[in-house]
Chains A and B, each alone.
Chain A
Amino acid sequence: MRGTPLVPGAASGEALVSTEPLSFWGGYDPNSGEIIDRRHPLSGLSAAHKILALPLTRGSSTTTAILLEAIRRNTAPAAIVTPAVDGFIALASIVADELYGTPIPVVALGERDFAQLASGDVVVVDGDTVSVRSKGDS
């Protein structure tokens, strides 16, 4: 699948797919990578080193600071895939690049392609390309 690489790069890992938006502030623990928004369907799961597929961010402006902190602590997703341009996520990765030289890939896919991804899939992100190497059990 081809998308727009908002922050280009390469990564691979197990997909964690969210059906709902997430505010990283109050929703993501940068100590562990756990999703801690108790109203969120992924509550209790870890997104660290996963390919996180997220509809978009919601709420707090502090989302970027939390994601940057997670990147610094190596608890961030390996890459983030969205169905539309999400500036908050891209920004955290761009600042991680400017500050530490460690951006994470951020790719915006079309809605239809985004819907193909399922939690448990092994996904490879490379530049503008997002490919599913093997389907998960779910």
Chain B
Amino acid sequence: MVALTDNDRAMLRGDHGPAARLAMSIIARMATVVRAPSLMSITAAHIDSTIYVGEAGLEFAERLAGLDARVAVPTTLNVSGVDEHHWQDWAVPSDWASKAQRQMAAYRSMGCHPTWTCAPYQTAWRPDFGQQVAWGESNAIAFANSVLGARTERYPDLLDICCAITGRVPAHGLHLTENRAGHLLVRLREIPQALQRDDSFYPVLGHLLGGLAQDRIPVVEGLDATPTEDQLKALCAAAATSGAVALVHLVGITPEAPTSSDAFQGKSPTDSVEVDLGDLRRARQELTSSDTDRLDMVVLGSPHFSLAEFRQLAPLLRGGHTHPGVRFLVTTSRLMAEMARASELLEPLEVFGGTITVDTCILASPMLSSNVKLLMTNSAKYAYYSPGLLGTSVTFGSLDDCVRSAVAGRVVRDESLWS
């Protein structure tokens, strides 16, 4: 049985209102499922339940909102099902848009910050090292745990908002130090330095790690580079897509892994594996489903494009223009779009013939028309999900490959780093 505090029990009785009662009932039942001995407090939350996927999620949100739910901790919101103010520029059916907007309104009414981004670590609500939080969104969970050293379990949709309303979570999993030790040792063998500095290395390594680790915590040894935050973001997103990875330790890089021994908390790995260039090459190939060099659209920004990525993209676009047959799209947050605009980084994109979408992405919103069949992306997450969710074929490439392909009107990839 779960040991509840007086305050937990008060919530369960309805003393804090019917929304807190419903939320606490779900949390208490989940605590039993995961065999948590008690609940613990969190100080922030990120809600993935904002993504409109059908009536049930909307009914849940509106039930809570109708019961006057209010979040108890600072809470950010993940992507929604529409770009709130620009959805009519796309193929989004109006019925879908109105339901997605109702879902947005429901979460906004609970006192959450309308960040509408899958990269909440790119906002002012980025958690600190050691901070206990309840985050949804697989890439954000992996980033918060791995890169920031904040502590969150993998919170699924519907539970995340219950945690935010009550400020309480089952005391288990990655909230507890002893569960953050590595399991699987992954040794990189003779991976060329030039490849390790390349952006496309990180999503590919992440994709490979997710498949190897599944739900275990991988510890990567042998990285001989200083990855940027966006490279780590790409790695985490990829690993959390191909596997249930919520925490990855990169020895010498991530905060809980100054040494391999720290990453394993002095214990021995339960399993180990070596990764060489051939493994990475195969992982890279898995991210491409297309068997043609034809191309309808280049899409960047899963997780949402950062200011640094806009800064990296702008010079690549100068002097070029996307081919008349190829659309060029960057998905990002309102905040990043405003900052990029203020830094004059959106103008080069517009001159190139590209567009941005905010609040959502191509996976969360039915924005692409059915004649978009052939995608190219530098995102492992877009590459992984688009064949199943959108029915498109996809080619994975580096940022540079993506821009050059958009200009050429067909897939062009530089294979030199991978050969």
Question: Which residue of chain A lies nearest to B137 when distances are taken between CB atoms in the complex?
Answer: A61
Q: Report the number of A-B residue pairs with Cβ-Cβ less than 8 Å.
A: 132
Question: Which residue of chain A lies nearest to B140 when distances are taken between CB atoms in the complex?
Answer: A61
In contact, B33 and A57 (Cβ under 8 angstroms): no
Near B by CB (< 8 A), chain A positions 31-74 give 36-39, 56-66, 68-69, 71-73
For residue A132, CB closer than 8 A to chain B, the reply is no
Closest Cβ of chain B: how far from A68's Cβ, in Å?
Answer: 4
Interface size class, chain A: 35 or more
- Complex Cα gap A6–B392 (Å): 37
Collect the chain B residues with CB atoms within 8 Å of residue A137's CB: none
Of B26, B34, B389, which is within 8 A of A85 by CB?
B34
- Complex Cα gap A76–B186 (Å): 37
Near A by CB (< 8 A), chain B positions 94-127 give none
- Complex Cα gap A81–B29 (Å): 18
Of B22, B26, B241, B289, which is within 8 A of A60 by CB?
B241
Supposing A58-B242, A87-B30 touch, asked if A95 and B60 sit within 8 A by C-beta, the answer is: yes
- Complex Cα gap A71–B53 (Å): 13
Closest Cβ of chain B: how far from A80's Cβ, in Å?
Answer: 13
Closest Cβ of chain A: how far from B412's Cβ, in Å?
Answer: 25
Near B by CB (< 8 A), chain A positions 102-123 give none
In contact, B55 and A72 (Cβ under 8 angstroms): yes
In contact, A64 and B242 (Cβ under 8 angstroms): no
In contact, A65 and B244 (Cβ under 8 angstroms): no
Query: Which among A23, A39, A95, A96 has the highest number of chain B CB atoms within 10 Å?
Result: A95
Report the interface size for chain B: residues with CB under 8 A from the other chain: 46
For residue B387, CB closer than 8 A to chain A, the reply is yes
In contact, B388 and A64 (Cβ under 8 angstroms): no
Collect the chain B residues with CB atoms within 8 Å of residue A39's CB: 286, 384, 387-388
Collect the chain A residues with CB atoms within 8 Å of residue B41's CB: none
Interchain Cβ contacts under 8 Å between A and B, 22 examples: A23-B241, A25-B53, A25-B385, A26-B389, A30-B53, A36-B388, A38-B289, A59-B384, A60-B385, A61-B154, A62-B51, A62-B157, A65-B51, A65-B53, A69-B57, A87-B34, A91-B33, A91-B156, A91-B158, A92-B158, A94-B26, A98-B26
Extra pairs beyond A21-B215, A69-B53, A71-B56 (14, CB < 8 Å): A21-B214, A25-B53, A25-B385, A36-B389, A56-B244, A58-B241, A59-B138, A64-B157, A65-B51, A65-B56, A68-B57, A85-B35, A87-B30, A98-B26
